[in-house]
């Protein structure tokens, strides 16, 4: 319950930032606050709904994931089937990414459309109990619908960024640049998108903590999960992922780009 309250509080904080920036834009442009906020929200909603609906296919293509059959990976399928049954979930698709850096992620807009993916490096690094812990963590993301929560946070953060960009443009090129409060408005419009990004990252981190707890319960092997996470941290710091897209880092159980200075 504590993690849920924290997630809701962070989303509420994003909503307050959204209203703050919308109020500034309304003051600068003379437009109705309702119109300004609604237009920005709808634009962000459309973009993020598209992302939410199609991002799983894009991510699977980006990392050249191959969906494997039970005959190809009987042991992996057996583990996922057992964990999914324990979690009360339909068995997701199972994929392997041809990447040497050990890692794993889950994607899909709902439990019925989910896929769990492990890299070739993870299959080599983990023993069976550690692999169960990692897969339990990913199934926890599916069960908790973290893709939906992440999309909501991204939608608000994107809307804030759009509004702030509009406001900065108005201050630089509009008549409002001569007003006494223009410097204060500009400072707010620069800092608020940064704050929104930090809150969005905090939402992601909060959901990771929740997946750690839930994943340990699903797998029944908290020590194995802790050991796997420690191995992942060491491996990623020594051999960060080459290629890929840093914007997908939140999907992975451990940020695979950390070694190259992201986050």
| Distances in whole angstroms, Cα of residue 63 to Cα of each of 115, 149, 207, 228 | 13, 23, 23, 22
Residue pair 17/196 in contact (Cβ under 8 Å)? The answer is yes
For the stretch 221-245, what's the b/e string if a residue is b when 16 or more beta carbons lie within 10 angstroms of its beta carbon? beebbebbbebbeebbeeebbeebe
Q: What is the DSSP letter of 242?
A: P
Residue with tokens 């939906």: 148
Residue 93, SS3? strand
The residues annotated with a catalytic role in the active site are 138
Residue pair 219/104 in contact (Cβ under 8 Å)? The answer is no
CA distance 40 to 45: 8
Measured in degrees and rounded to the nearest 5, phi and psi for residue 173 equal -120, -5
Helices (H), the chain: 2-29, 33-62, 74-87, 120-125, 128-143, 146-173, 182-219, 222-238
């Amino acid at each position: 319950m504590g993690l849920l309250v924290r997630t809701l509080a962070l989303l509420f904080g994003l909503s307050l930032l959204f209203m703050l920036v919308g109020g500034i834009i309304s003051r600068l442009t003379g437009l109705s606050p309702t119109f300004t906020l609604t237009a920005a929200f709808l634009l962000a909603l459309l973009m993020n709904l598209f992302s939410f609906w199609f991002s799983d296919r894009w991510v699977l293509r980006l990392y050249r994931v191959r969906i494997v059959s039970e005959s190809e990976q009987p042991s992996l399928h057996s583990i996922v089937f057992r964990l999914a049954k324990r979690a009360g979930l339909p068995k997701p698709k199972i994929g392997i990414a041809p990447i040497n850096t050990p890692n794993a992620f889950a994607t899909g807009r709902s439990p019925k459309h989910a896929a769990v993916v492990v890299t070739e490096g993870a299959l080599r690094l983990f023993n069976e109990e550690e692999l169960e812990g990692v897969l339990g963590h990913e199934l926890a993301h599916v069960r908790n619908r973290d893709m939906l929560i992440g999309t909501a946070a991204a939608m608000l953060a994107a809307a804030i960024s759009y509004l702030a960009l509009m406001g900065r443009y108005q201050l630089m090129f509009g008549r409002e640049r001569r007003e006494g409060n223009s410097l204060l408005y500009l400072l707010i419009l620069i800092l608020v998108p940064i704050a929104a990004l930090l809150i969005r990252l905090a939402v992601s981190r909060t959901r990771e903590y929740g997946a750690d707890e839930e994943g340990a319960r699903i797998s029944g092997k908290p020590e194995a999960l802790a050991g796997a996470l420690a191995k992942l941290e060491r491996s990623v710091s020594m051999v960060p992922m080459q290629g890929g897209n840093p914007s997908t880092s939140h999907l992975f159980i451990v940020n695979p780009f950390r070694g190259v200075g992201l986050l």
